Amino acid sequence: MSMEQVSANLAFGGVQGVYKHASAATGTDMTFSVYVLPHEEGAKLPVIWYLSGLTCTHANVTEKGEFRRICAELGLIFVAPDTSPRGEGVPNDAGGAYDFGLGAGFYVDATQAPFDRNYRMWTYVTEELPALIVEHFPADMERQSIMGHSMGGHGALSIALRHQERFRAVSAFSPIVAPSQVPWGIKALTGYLGDDRDAWRKHDATALIEDGARVPAILVDQGDADQFLVEQLRPDLLEKACDAAGIPLTLRMQPGYDHSYYFISTFMADHLTWHAERLR
C-alpha cells in the first residue's frame, strides 16, 4: 500500500512524521502521524497505538501530547490515526453537532445509511492501518499496546478486549467506558449501528467485560474536575465490571484535572512507561 509523507520533523533524535493514504476501508484519504526513532537495519520496535477523542484529528495528540521525549527514551513507535473519515461527500450530523459524524467515528463500522459508506473506523484501525504501518515502519507487531482519550479511550478499551491476543496492554485517559449507558454513546451507536443493542455490546467496554472478555490489566487516569465525568464517562461502571470479573484496574482519580490535553500531557509519561514495562 502506498502513502504520501505530508511532513517530517526531527524531535528527540527521532522523526515525527505525518502521512496520508487512500483508504479502502473508508473510501477517503486518511491522515495519521507516526513517531519513530532511528534504528538498525532489520530492527523492530514496539508499537503504541493512540486513539483520539471527539472533534480531534491525529494532530491534537501529535502537537499537545508531549509523548516524544519518553518514547525516544523507551524506544517506542507512537501511532496516532484520525477519528473519522473526511472529505467531500462524507456524511455528517444533520445539525453539525460535534458528537456525531465528522471527528466522531466512535471506532465502529457503521451499518446504517448513509454512514455505512465511509464510517468504517473499526476496520481501518484494526486491519488497514496496521497493515500499512508494518509495511512502511520498523514495527514489531508481536509487541503492541493501545491507549486513548475519551471517545478514543472507549475505542482502545473495546479493541483491546476484542483483540486480547494482539495487545499486551491497554490504558486510557477519561474514557467513555459504557457508551450504551451515556448520551454520547447512545447517540453514536444508534446513528451508526441502529437500534440493535446486542450490536452495541461489542463496542462497549463494560458490556464486553460482563460478557466474558478479559485483559491482563487496565490503567485509567480520570480528572475529578472533568466536566463530562458524571454524565458521559462513568468510570464507576468500569470499576464495578472489573471488580466482578477479577480484572486488575488501576483507576487514578486526579484532583483538579479536567478533560483537556493539559491533563493528558501531565500523565502521558506514566502511561507510556506502564506500557513499555509490558512490551519488553
Across-strand partners of 32?
Answer: 19, 81
- Number of Cβ within 10 Å of residue 267's Cβ equals 17
Peptide bond into 138 cis (omega under 30): no
Q: Which of 137, 109, 119, 103 is nearest to 3 (CA)?
A: 137
Q: Which residues are catalytic?
A: 150, 226, 259
